[in-house]
Amino acid sequence: MVMSKTVGAAEFKAKCLNLIDQMAKDDESIVITKRGKPVAVLSPAPHTRGRSSIIGAMKGSVLRYDDPLSPAVEPEDWDVLR
């Protein structure tokens, strides 16, 4: 379950970068309030969790690897050649 932290708009403005770093580290949403009423929710981006580099992002995605030097499709299958 993802917890959320509540922060006033003035505090968020003053500590924005630190709060964003803490949010990413804790995987915890931040509810931003104005005069005690929620006005926005800041939450960690789902695609950044657990992935720090593009290197290896496609690992395990190759379904077939018969001949790496042959074309992926036949030249007549290319729409640009028509």
**Domain 1-44 grouped into CATH 3.40.1620.10:** yes
Residue-wise pLDDT tens digits, 28-73: 899 999 999 999 999 888 764 555 677 877 888 877 777 878 777 7
- pTM comes to 0.52
By C-alpha distance, which of 47, 49, 35, 48 is closest to 6? 35
pLDDT band at 1 (very low <50, low <70, confident <90, very high): very low
Query: In which order are the strands placed within the sheet that holds 4-8?
Result: 4-8, 29-34, 37-42
**Domain positions in the chain:** 1-44
Residue with tokens 């036949």: 74
Q: In 10 A of CB 35, how many CB atoms?
A: 7
